[in-house]
């Protein structure tokens, strides 16, 4: 290992000779490290695998520069723009998929359309089925999701469906792949790729981190081959006394950024979902402050990872008070604070926001979304929906696991899709579509 006494550049590069490989590394943030002034160079010969530590003079550094080109230290170049020995750019997959990623993202948030989130894990969807007296077996999960995907005219309001892995690779009872069924309806198939939340060691009580990065690229490639064109990764941040901790925020943001870049390398549009949980008694101002910090940090890391923002989407919570807050904000207040938070936190290059419902009732979710879209805003992004419970709850209860109720259940699903499609344009009239207006909040909810 060779240590340089002062920093000269923020460039990382590799040079090779027949016997020696030299790599100079430094942090991307030059201003932070300029007073520390260290560059680490790893040197290993073919004949001696022992690391060598020595003083490295600027003269030697200049010689090393000759191996990498005259401009090696002139200015910082992101790794995604570096070129290989033969002149071709590295990370070609982003170039390969860039147009497709942007096209898919824009189709997903075109006016009047939103997403149906039906990516609940086997355990979560099983709990819902058991609530209507059905056993949690694959056959029943298949019937339930087939009911959703075969709803007539659903593609008039739903641009994409987020699927669980089982569903992406599953066929209908007639043997038609669900992917083909969705594509025929004009609905883009997507896939949940995270492996769920785990306790955050070193964090505050009940804080979590989202797992699933190991092997993610290979999984995304397989999902793309199966027909998925976008992905979703949900992490959750909890507002509590003294929290969220900086550790929890940074872990959430960095995980989302790594996931997003990996997805784009495999051709999938990443939906970035930093959910602010509504558990607690905090007021709406507290939510706005925390959410602005979380989303801003997330976009900082997305850009550091070279994510193509034009080929990505954001799935945040609406900016609401905690479920136990004694002072409930009005829909107009929720809309104002949500738009304010987004305008302060997200760049205009990102094409669309697909809100999660997060335990808000079906009708309130539509009303809030409608009020949000009635506000004049600076951001050019679409503001639409990606609802699960707020799309499916009344549909599930009407179906009740009975074949004779399928049409009525599908009519209910279509009604909520129609309501949310109108709300995404600021055109929904409260109460004009049927819904069960009960709260959908579940404490410590997991997918």
CATH number, domain with residue 135: 3.20.20.70
Show which of 11, 45, 77 is a domain's final residue. 77
Count of structural domains, the chain: 2
Each residue's pLDDT tens digit in the chain (447 positions)?
A: 333 333 333 333 333 333 333 333 333 333 333 333 333 333 333 333 333 333 333 333 333 333 333 333 233 333 444 343 333 343 546 889 999 999 999 999 999 999 999 999 999 999 999 999 999 999 999 999 999 999 999 999 999 999 999 999 999 999 999 999 999 999 999 999 999 999 999 999 999 999 999 999 999 999 999 999 999 999 999 999 999 999 999 999 999 999 999 999 999 999 999 999 999 999 999 999 999 999 999 999 999 999 999 999 999 999 999 999 999 999 999 999 999 999 999 999 999 999 999 889 999 999 999 999 999 999 999 999 999 999 999 999 999 999 999 999 999 999 999 999 999 999 999 999 999 766 554 566 555
- Domain assignment present for residue 390? The answer is yes
Nearest to 216 by CA among 164, 261, 253: 261
Predicted local confidence at residue 437, as pLDDT: 64
Is 220 in the same domain as 347? Answer: yes
Note the pLDDT of residue 359.
85
- Are 157 and 257 in a shared domain? yes
Q: Is-above-0.75 flag for pTM? A: yes
Residue 437 placed within a domain: no
Residues 225 and 111 in one domain: yes
Residues 46, 100, single domain; the answer is no
- Whether residue 241 is found in the same domain as residue 388: yes
Return the active site residues. 273, 315
pLDDT value at position 438?
A: 61
Give pLDDT, residue 350.
Answer: 98
Is residue 445 situated within a structural domain?
Answer: no
The position carrying tokens 């699960």 is 388
> Same structural domain for residues 67 and 108?
no
pLDDT at 104: 98
The boundaries of the domain holding residue 132 are 96-423
């Amino acid at each position: 290992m060779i240590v340089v006494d002062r920093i000269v550049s923020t460039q990382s590069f590799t040079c090779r000779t027949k016997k020696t490989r030299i790599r100079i590394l430094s942090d991307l943030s030059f201003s932070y490290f300029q007073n520390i002034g260290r560059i680490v160079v790893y040197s290993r010969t073919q004949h001696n695998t022992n690391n060598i530590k020595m003083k490295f003079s600027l003269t030697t550094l200049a010689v090393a520069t000759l191996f990498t080109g005259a401009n090696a230290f002139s200015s910082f170049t992101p790794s995604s723009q570096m070129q290989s020995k033969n002149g071709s750019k590295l990370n070609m997959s982003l170039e390969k998929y860039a147009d497709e990623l942007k096209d898919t993202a824009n189709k997903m948030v075109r006016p009047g359309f939103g997403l149906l989130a039906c990516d609940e894990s086997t355990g979560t969807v099983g709990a819902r089925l058991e609530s209507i007296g059905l056993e949690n077996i694959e056959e029943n999960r298949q019937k339930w999701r087939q009911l959703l995907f075969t709803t007539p005219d659903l593609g008039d309001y739903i641009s994409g469906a987020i699927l669980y892995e089982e569903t992406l690779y599953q066929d209908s009872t007639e043997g038609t792949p669900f992917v083909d069924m969705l594509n025929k309806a004009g609905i883009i198939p997507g896939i949940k790729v995270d492996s769920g939340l785990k306790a955050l060691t070193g964090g505050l009580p009940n804080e979590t981190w989202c797992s699933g990065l190991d092997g993610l690229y290979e999984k995304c490639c397989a999902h793309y081959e199966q027909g998925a064109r976008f992905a979703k990764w949900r992490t959750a941040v909890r507002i509590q006394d003294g929290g969220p901790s900086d550790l929890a925020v940074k872990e959430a943001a960095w995980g989302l950024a790594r996931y997003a870049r990996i997805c784009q390398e495999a051709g999938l549009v990443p939906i970035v979902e930093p959910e602010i949980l509504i558990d607690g008694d905090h007021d709406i101002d507290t939510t706005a402050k925390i959410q602005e910090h979380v989303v801003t940090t997330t976009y900082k890391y997305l850009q550091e990872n070279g994510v193509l923002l034009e080929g990505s989407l954001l799935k945040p919570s609406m900016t609401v008070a905690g479920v136990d807050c004694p002072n409930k904000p009005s829909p107009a207040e929720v809309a104002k604070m949500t738009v304010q938070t987004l305008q302060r936190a997200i760049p205009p290059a990102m094409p669309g926001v697909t809100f999660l419902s997060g335990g808000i009732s079906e009708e309130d979710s539509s009303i809030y979304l409608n009020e949000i879209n009635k506000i004049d805003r600076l951001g050019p992004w679409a503001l639409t929906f990606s609802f699960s419970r707020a799309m499916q709850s009344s549909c599930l209860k009407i179906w009740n696991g009975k074949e004779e109720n399928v049409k009525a259940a599908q009519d209910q699903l279509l009604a909520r899709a129609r309501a949310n499609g109108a709300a995404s344009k600021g055109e929904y009239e409260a109460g004009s579509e049927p819904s069960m207006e009960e709260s959908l909040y579940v404490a410590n909810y997991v997918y």
